[in-house]
Amino acid sequence: MSREVFVHPSGKRESEVALNKRHLLGSGSYANVYEVEVEIDGSRHIMALKEYKEHCRGGMAESSVKHYLDAKAAGLKVFTTYRLSKDNDSILR
């Protein structure tokens, strides 16, 4: 398992999680989405990890978080967990 740090959309909390990529769920011109097993505080969960491709890193991930926060503020159903990686190249949800 690899370890990665993710930041809460508010920017106030960071979580270090252990990730185990299981398999590719989908791929597009901007990103790949993987099913991952995540270990947080001793418990394991199955989640999705969206990794942006080299030419899209940074801005697209940050823009995605902004859209998530806007949708949440508007009262729309959103993922319970939505975290941006500390290096701004992936999103855990």
Q: What is the percent of the chain with per-residue pLDDT over 70, rounded to a whole number?
A: 91
pTM over 0.85: no
26 contacts: CB under 8 Å, gap ≥ 6: 32, 33
Structural domain for 48, as ranges = 2-92
Classified as helix, coil or strand, 78 is coil
Q: Domain of 31: which CATH number?
A: 3.30.200
- Number of domains into which the chain is organized: 1
The per-residue pLDDT for range 71-92, each reduced to its tens digit, is 989 999 988 878 888 887 888 8
